[in-house]
Chains A and B, each alone.
Chain A
Amino acid sequence: MEAFGKQIHDLFEGLGRFFVFLGHVLRNIPRRPYRWRLLGEQVERIGVRSVPIIALSSMAIGMIFSLQITMLMAMFQAETIVGAAVGLTLARELAPVITTLMLIAKNGSAMTAELGTMRVTEQLDAMQTMSVDPVHYLVTPRVVASVITFPILTAMANVVGLIGSYVVAVGMLDVDPGGFFDQLYWFVEPEDVYSGLIKAAVMGFMMAVICSYYGFNSGRGAKGVGEASTRAVVTSSVGILVADYIMADLMLKLLY
Chain B
Amino acid sequence: MGEIVRVENLFKSFGDNHVLQGASIAFEEGRITSIIGQSGTGKSVLIKNIIGVLEPDDGDILFHGKSMVHASAEERAEMRRRFGYLFQDSALFDSMTVAENIAFPLTEGRGEKDRVRIRDVVQEKLDWIGLPDVGDQYPAELSGGMRKRVGLARTLAVQPEVLLFDEPTTGLDPVLAETINELITKVNQEFGITCILITHDIQATFRISDYIGFLYDGKIQAQGRPDELSGTKHPVLRQFIANSFAELEV
Bind each other: yes
Interface residues, chain A, CB within 8 Å of chain B?
33, 117-118, 121-123, 125-132, 137
Task: Say how far B165's CB is from chain A's closest CB, in angstroms.
Answer: 13
Task: Say how far A37's CB is from chain B's closest CB, in angstroms.
Answer: 11
Question: CB-CB < 8 A to B53: which residues of A?
Answer: 125, 128-129
Pairs A-B, 9 closest by C-beta atoms: A126-B91, A122-B91, A130-B105, A130-B109, A131-B109, A129-B85, A125-B53, A132-B108, A122-B87
Question: CB-CB < 8 A to A117: which residues of B?
Answer: 94
15 examples of A-B residue contacts, CB within 8 angstroms = A33-B111, A121-B89, A122-B88, A122-B89, A122-B91, A123-B92, A125-B53, A126-B91, A126-B93, A128-B53, A129-B51, A129-B84, A131-B80, A132-B104, A132-B108
Question: CB-CB < 8 A to B94: which residues of A?
Answer: 117, 121, 123
Task: Say how far B78's CB is from chain A's closest CB, in angstroms.
Answer: 9
Contact check, A125 vs B109: say whether CB atoms are below 8 A apart: no
For B53, the closest partner residue in chain A by CB is: A125
Task: Say how far B152's CB is from chain A's closest CB, in angstroms.
Answer: 13
Measured CA separation A33–B94 after assembly (Å): 23
Contact-residue size bin, chain B (C-beta under 8 Å from the other chain): 20 to 34
Contact check, B87 vs A131: say whether CB atoms are below 8 A apart: no
Task: Say how far A186's CB is from chain B's closest CB, in angstroms.
Answer: 51
Given known pairs A33-B111, A123-B93, A123-B94, the reply for A129 and B88 (CB within 8 Å) is no
Measured CA separation A127–B77 after assembly (Å): 13
For A114, the closest partner residue in chain B by CB is: B95
For A35, the closest partner residue in chain B by CB is: B108
Question: CB-CB < 8 A to A130: which residues of B?
Answer: 104-105, 108-109, 158
Task: Say how far A244's CB is from chain B's closest CB, in angstroms.
Answer: 33
For B81, the closest partner residue in chain A by CB is: A131
Task: Say how far A140's CB is from chain B's closest CB, in angstroms.
Answer: 13
Contact check, A132 vs B52: say whether CB atoms are below 8 A apart: no
Measured CA separation A127–B95 after assembly (Å): 13
Task: Say how far B188's CB is from chain A's closest CB, in angstroms.
Answer: 19
For A131, the closest partner residue in chain B by CB is: B109
Task: Say how far A224's CB is from chain B's closest CB, in angstroms.
Answer: 15
Say whether B27 faces chain A, with CB atoms less than 8 Å apart: no
Measured CA separation A82–B136 after assembly (Å): 57
Near A by CB (< 8 A), chain B positions 88-117 give 88-89, 91-94, 104-105, 108-111
Measured CA separation A121–B89 after assembly (Å): 7
Question: CB-CB < 8 A to A123: which residues of B?
Answer: 91-94
Question: CB-CB < 8 A to A33: which residues of B?
Answer: 111
Given known pairs A121-B91, A122-B91, A123-B91, the reply for A129 and B108 (CB within 8 Å) is no
Given known pairs A123-B91, A131-B77, the reply for A137 and B108 (CB within 8 Å) is yes
